[in-house]
Structure 1
Amino acid sequence: MTASTFPEPEVPTFSIVVPAYNEDSVLEAFHARLAATLDRLGETAEVIYINDGSHDRTRPVLDRLQTRDPRVAVIDLSRNFGKEVALTAGLHHARGQAVIVIDADLQDPPELIPELVAPWRERGVDVVYAQRIARAGESWLKRATAHLFYRLMQHVGRVHLPPDTGDYRLLSRRAVEALNQYPEQHRFMKGLFTWIGFEQVAVRYERDPRFAGRTKWSYAKLVNLAIEGITSFTSAPLRFASILGLAIAGLAFVDALWIIYKTLRYGDPVAGYPSLMTTILFLGGVQLTAIGILGEYLGRVFDETKHRPLYHVKDYRPARLGRVREPMVRDDGPAAGE
């Protein structure tokens, strides 16, 4: 008996992965610019929007875009899992020979995509990342803290995190398959993009201010993301706590020798209350800080041991591009009487 024969689904040249959380005010404008850029490229493409548990009209807008553009695919997650997990869901579903990750807020211009494509197409570069030379529309505090974080990661991290680089980049198929092998719960995608290795080059650009709506990244979320990045790719905080503890123990030993010397030479003076309280509070603060650092790493170990799924998909509507509706040839075996 001959097996049924179906045509292979068309594999698009590009998959564009776009996480979206409460972005109904910008999606129409974003897709118009993205679609125009893809039209100029002249290659087959799918645009995968991941609705990360939005509470506004993001999903109806995505449905409307999918009705108008057969390249659009929509992944609707069961709740808000966060941008890092939404990106992961998009990478899991991407079918393209190359995958481009971009935010929907239009701070990263879709018109830069041909420049990201060129090194991959001409030289086979696996990762082409967009590096900012200017960050329009951001406060001095956000720029300063971002600068500090990237430089800190360069000195203490186990991977070289390119400075002033976000998620906007192109990944080859083998780079995406490498990323999809990482199952960890606490995901810092900028670090994982670098961790996989392969040849990586930068394309420099000026980042635009947000087109519409409000940023979803409060300072508290940015601090949490920085902690994720540091604890995911370096054990430097644990080492720092150990070194600090040894240094304080050494100072305490020297101070004890000094107290013994003064007692033997001058008698037993009355201890000063202010200096005693300062020492107690300082040591208590150091101990609590060290315990907190240990707790951060222990909490991550606890989360990883549970092996929970990273996300759940409530609805997935693939792009109509390349879908197979009916078999072209079908052979159910020999006819009756043969």
Structure 2
Amino acid sequence: MSVDLSIIVPLKNEEANLSNLWARLEPVVRSLGLGFEVLLINDGSTDRTLARALEMAQAIPELKIIDLSRNFGKEAALACGFSHARGAAVVSMDGDLQHPPEMLPEMVARWREGYEMVYAVRRSREYQGLLDRAFTRAFYWLFEHLSAVKLPPEAGDFRLLDRKVVDALNALPERNRFMKGMYAWVGFRTLGIPFTVEHRSGGTSSFSPLKKLGFAFDALTAFSNLPLRVWSVVGAGISLAAFLYIVVRIIRVMVYGLDVPGYESLLAVMLFLGGMQLLSLGILGDYLARVFEEAKGRPLYVVRERFGFTEDKQKRATRRVRKVA
């Protein structure tokens, strides 16, 4: 059967949500009248997510499961799903039901109108705390002003992609991936449609504040080299200020005979410059670490096993025939 629509769902400890997810997703997808597949990417879950998914797959032939060898992160899990999806259109969505499946008919309708990327736009972030909202606004403000790639406001990973977009994403070679930036970078004809983010159906998010901070820094350095270039401006400004200060001190000594201030001012200047140097070296080191990671050429993810894929069944059957022979 041909696959018109592939749905990618990364999973990390979502055992409590799988049944509710399928209960809401199945009637919506079947009502579209399209051949479909649902790819569940188990990204190193430590609960019974994989076991529950396998139980469901026994009665649902459209379910396909990819079990990664460990937790590689959501960006890698999405990349894995895109590389395995066969549909003419591919939808990525979370497994905690914060992305309502009932949005899919409108997404598909817009895709049929000719839009090659249809992304869902949050109406609000009331589901987040004040601190999370402030951090998110600060990140998007920085990204907008530091990067040449412009992100659609309030757009996330809940989106439908045409096959052309998926092929373009699969062709991008980098390992340190910020998918929202990559969606914007590849371009194509896009459209945003509003939706209301729901509360999690069950479980708790594994995206800690520390992970969010690291993810934000990775995103900024992946799509902007301004943090590197800005230190040339900072260095030039500090050098100019230091030169003007020296000129002023020389003039004051020559005209008024005033002594140069003592070691306190010298110590303050040295500490300031030392801090600036360490900060700039840290940013430079982060970019160098990215180059090191890319140069090693390690795969973005490692698949432990796949379930529900026809080619895997054919390979296992071939191995059994060879053993018998």
TM-score (norm 2): 0.92
1:17 aligns to 2:8 (yes or no): yes
Question: Aligned Cα RMSD in Å?
Answer: 1.6
Supply the distance in 1 between the matched residues of 2:167 and 2:281 (Cα, whole angstroms): 38
User: Match for 2:157 among 144, 157, 167?
Assistant: 167
Counterparts of 1:124 and 1:204 in 2: how far apart (Å)?
Answer: 18
Instruction: State the 1:41 CA deviation.
Output: 1.6
Cα distance, 1:272 vs structure 2:
3.5
| Letter paired with 1:85 | A
Q: Which runs of 4+ in 1 moved over 6 A?
A: none
Structure ID, larger Rg: 1
Equivalences for residues 1-338 of structure 1 within 5 A: 10-121=1-112, 123-267=113-257, 269=259, 271-318=261-308
CA offsets per residue over residues 306-337 of structure 1, 9 Å max, x none?
Answer: 111111111011357xx999xxxxxxxxxxxx
Which structure has more relative contact order (CA 8 Å, sep 6+)? It is 1
Q: Is the partner of 1:100 in helix, strand or coil? A: strand
CA distance in 2 between partners of 1:177 and 1:270 (Å): 66
- Given that 1:98 and 1:173 are in contact with CA atoms closer than 8 Å, whether structure 2 keeps it comes out as yes
> Are the structure 2 counterparts of residues 217 and 203 from structure 1 closer, same or farther at C-alpha, using a change threshold of 3 Å?
same
Q: Mark the CA change 1:105 to 1:136 in structure 2 (over 3 Å): closer, same or farther.
A: farther
List gaps (5 residues or longer) in structure 2. 316-325
The one-letter amino acid of 1:318's match is G
Q: For 2:97 and 2:262, how far apart are their aligned partners in 1?
A: 61
User: Amino acid of the residue matched to residue 148 of structure 1?
Assistant: A
Number of residue pairs the alignment of both structures matches:
313
1:197-216 CA distances to partner (integer Å, 9 max, x unpaired)? 11111011111122211111
| Cα offset, 1:90, TM superposition | 0.4
User: In the aligned structure 2, how far is the partner of 1:315 from the partner of 1:203?
Assistant: 36
Find the aligned partners of 1:25 and 1:277 in 2 and give their Cα distance. 58
1:270 Cα deviation (Å)? 5.2
Query: How big is each residue's C-alpha offset from its partner over 1:258-299, in whole Å with a ceiling of 9 and x where there is no partner?
Result: 111122123352523433332222111111111111111111
Any unmatched runs of 5+ in structure 1? 1-9, 326-338
- Give, in angstroms, the shift of residue 91 of structure 1: 0.4
Would you say the 8 A contact 1:47–1:72 is kept in 2? yes
Deviation of 1:18 after TM superposition, in Å, equals 0.4
